[in-house]
Structure 1
Amino acid sequence: MPGTVVLEFYNKNHFSHVQLVHDTVMGGRSDGAVNMVTEPAGLRFFGNLSLANNGGFASAEFRLTNALPAQHFSSIKLHVAADGRTYQLRLKTPYLPRGVAYVANFKSDIGQQHYYFQPDAFSGRYRGREVTQLPKLNFADVTQLSVMLADEKNGPFSIILYSLGLSTTQAI
């Protein structure tokens, strides 16, 4: 479809680097990993969220291989298969202070689903706190994205990340 860019999480032509960042950087005990899945192809992000030692988050960060086209993207469609927990889609651009991200929460349903986001669904966050007076989010400026679990519930988690689509129209 014209005006649409689809990024597949398993495709190294789309994402050059995957990094796991968990609360262990601050003494927490959460853990997680990623592995490839097939039929359909994706990356499974899974592990165990622990609130011990003031912990409570696990994330998988993806760096885009190439810059997005300089278009006015008005919506994002995230295709995942999840476990019913509440996750965050986090976007970073070069115009944000270090550690700050544009964040939108989504309550996952069990099984494969599509979740839709417009720019106004995102707010600036730094370590769970709101950050204001940031540049207006332009999806074309995104260089890194992540999926984070920080729902304050101990226990196992699993989300399969298939694709993220950006569209110049309101719905993909």
Structure 2
Amino acid sequence: MTRLIDFQHADEATRWRAINDDVMGGVSRGHLHMEDGIGVFSGETSLENNGGFASVRREPEAFDLSKTAGLLLRVRGDGRRYQLRLRTDRLFDGGAYRALFQPAAGEWQQFALPWHEFEAVFRGRRLEDAPPFDPGAIQQVGLLIADRTAGPFRLEVDWLDAMERDETPRRKA
């Protein structure tokens, strides 16, 4: 089975770039690297200088998921809340569609994120008049932590895949 994003491919980590709150004066740091075929999004969030977020984005690649029901994500976390963020050309630069998930500490979990759970946001605020999310127009995938908590974080990502329309969403939170 071919996954949308699979960290078994040695070059996958090179496709991700960090964008942290230092772009706005903060001092949080985060990055993505690989350990034994697993993507690891880790670093430390800081609330200093009105900061508090760290993120990584995968280089642009169009995903046409219009015939799917959402995304499946297999992760092992640290108990903190994360966001899976999707960018399309339907929002202005900086806007994204996000779905929240909070894996239990130290436990591999699979999250089903149906399309209706993705909401349009800009700088942490919901965009009330945003165009509806179009799963056929995904251009970029990202991970973000912005849970208003200072301290280290670690999210291990095994894979990301499409959820078929006939799959029953199994959401663990």
- Place the TM-score, normalised by the shorter chain, in its bin: 0.7 to 0.9
Aligned residues: 167
Distance 2:65 2:75 in 1: 26
> Deviation string for 1:73-110 (max 9, x for gaps)?
11210111111100011111122211100011111212
Q: How far is 1:14 from its partner?
A: 6.9
Structural RMSD (CA): 2.3
> Structure 1: which 5+ residue stretches go unaligned?
none
> Deviation string for 1:60-84 (max 9, x for gaps)?
111254x334641112101111111
Does 2:54 match 1:54? no
TM normalised by structure 1 equals: 0.86
- Structure 1's consecutive aligned runs of 4 or more residues displaced over 3 angstroms after TM superposition are 9-16
Q: How far is 1:170 from its partner?
A: 4.5
Question: Which residue among 97, 108, 112 is the counterpart of 1:112?
Answer: 108
Q: How far is 1:137 from its partner?
A: 1.5
Question: Which residue among 11, 29, 32 is the counterpart of 2:30?
Answer: 32
Does 2:100 match 1:102? no
Aligned twin of 2:171: none
Moved more, 7-16 or 128-137: 7-16
Quick check: 1:75–1:170 contact (8 Å CA) kept in 2? no
Q: How far is 1:160 from its partner?
A: 1.0
Quick check: 1:44–1:159 contact (8 Å CA) kept in 2? yes
Distance of aligned partners of 1:12 and 1:99 in 2 relative to their CA distance in 1, 3 Å threshold: farther
Q: How far is 1:31 from its partner?
A: 1.0
Distance 2:141 2:99 in 1: 11
Which is richer in strand?
1
The residue identity in structure 2 corresponding to 1:6 is L
> Structure 2: which 5+ residue stretches go unaligned?
169-173
